[in-house]
Amino acid sequence: MMLFVAAREQLRRSRYSRTFLVESGTGELWSELQTGDRYVVADCGGGTVDLTVHQIEQPQGTLKELYKASGGPYGAVGVDLAFEAMLCQIFGEDFIHSFKAKRPAAWVDLMIAFEARKRTASPGRANALNISLPFSFIDFYKRHRGQSVEAALRRSNMNIVKWSSQGMLRLTQEAMNELFQPTISNIVKHIEELMGKLEVRGVRFLFLVGGFAESPMLQKAVQKALGRTCRIIIPHDVGLTILKGAVLFGLDPTVVRVRRCPVTYGVGVLNRFMGGRHPRDKLLIKDGREWCTDIFDRFVFVDQSVALGEVVRRSYTPARVGQRKIIINIYCSATDDITYISDPGVRKCGTITLDLPESSAPPGAVGEAGAAVAGPERREIRATMQFGDTEIKVTAVDVMSNRSVRASIDFLSN
């Protein structure tokens, strides 16, 4: 009996460790997480910082997304761009652009050298960080400017960057702070704005993950700004945490039970034209009937909670007899205040393709694909779209023959 209890407890621990990406070095955090607890995951990568907010629904570890995933261009590349801007300030913007174009390999070597030193930067470091300048950089500058790199540094009056006789730039702690500060400030501000939203209040934990989360500069800044609001968790192998989570999610996709839709999705359809309500420029007369074009038929709206397996159903009819394919354009918008697909902020983001089998019964003619079915004599293709997963899935059935219709959705070419 004792062995059974021990095995069950070990399984429980394993489940929590998998679900919450908790490494052994963070302590027995799994035992502190309870139903209803909320946490933020800040994935700090090279190009962007992406935030998600989850709430624990059940002791088994299923999760509910509380707020749509958000992010911004606040990744580690911002520090690289600040370093490049500093070089432009010292040596001249025209020279740096010329060097990048004519000596690309040497420029890459220089940025690799900076990347290595960037990773070791920390708030309490007393010594300057040395960055080797490639010989081709020193030589290229002397040929184009007729003076040495050292002379350029003296002329720039940038006291936070020194020159070493070993051919190195010496970046003081003040210089590193200046390079990191704009990017780190944007990250902290973004997290604070998210945690200030009504739907996200009450967060107990902030998981700081991703390659940039390895930086002591970022860790210290986040801890200082948010440490009193919630507990900051930085797992071991923080740069691999997202990869591990993706693999574990692939093994059990049901962990996240409810997601928030990041945008509003829908299609353009024809509706009966109503004078005084619809603009005249949307009027289409077909077969003696007046239709309003470009009506936005909403599937899901932005920030809507969508459960795993939740579906949206629509019926479509071919525009002409013998049509073998229906192509439906999908539109999206960051807002929900949409009436027509031509409204500002609405863009085409994908297509649904329905391949139609041959039909023995001749269907009646009807308007464009996307118009709702109005009568039983028309051939009906019933499409089912699932939005609650990590990707949108679509299936379709020919109602007349009850046969499946090959359906595909394409976001890549848009």
Which residues does residue 70 pair with via DSSP β-bridges, in sequence order? 51
User: For a pLDDT cut of 90, what percent of the chain falls above it?
Assistant: 25
- As a whole number, the mean pLDDT across the chain is 81
Average pLDDT over residues 123-148: 88
Residue 97: what pLDDT? 94
> Is the CB of residue 413 less than 8 Å from the CB of residue 353?
no
Query: Does residue 31 surpass a pLDDT of 70?
Result: no
CA distance 380 to 257: 32
More confident residue, 374 or 399: 399
Residue 17 pLDDT = 38
What confidence score (pLDDT) does residue 287 get? 78
> For residue 81, is pLDDT > 90?
yes
The Cα–Cα gap between 128 and 162 comes to 9
Cα separation values, 373 from 52, 284, 299, Å: 39, 18, 17
- Contact (CB, 8 A) for 235 and 23: yes
Q: How far apart are CA 389 and CA 397, in angstroms?
A: 21
The per-residue pLDDT for 15 is 39
- 3-state DSSP helix/strand/coil % of the chain, to nearest 5: 35, 30, 35
Q: What pLDDT is stored for residue 361 in this prediction?
A: 47
**CA-CA distance, 42 to 210, in Å (whole number)?**
8
- Which residue is it, tokens 């009807």? 366
Average pLDDT over residues 383-387: 82
Whether 321 shows a pLDDT value over 60: the answer reads yes
Residue 91, pLDDT score? 92
pLDDT digits (tens, 9 = 90+) for 260-312: 888 898 888 888 888 888 899 988 888 788 889 898 988 888 888 888 878 88
What value does the mean pLDDT take over residues 166-172? 87
- Cα distance between residue 47 and residue 79, in whole Å: 10
Q: Which amino acid is at 313?
A: R
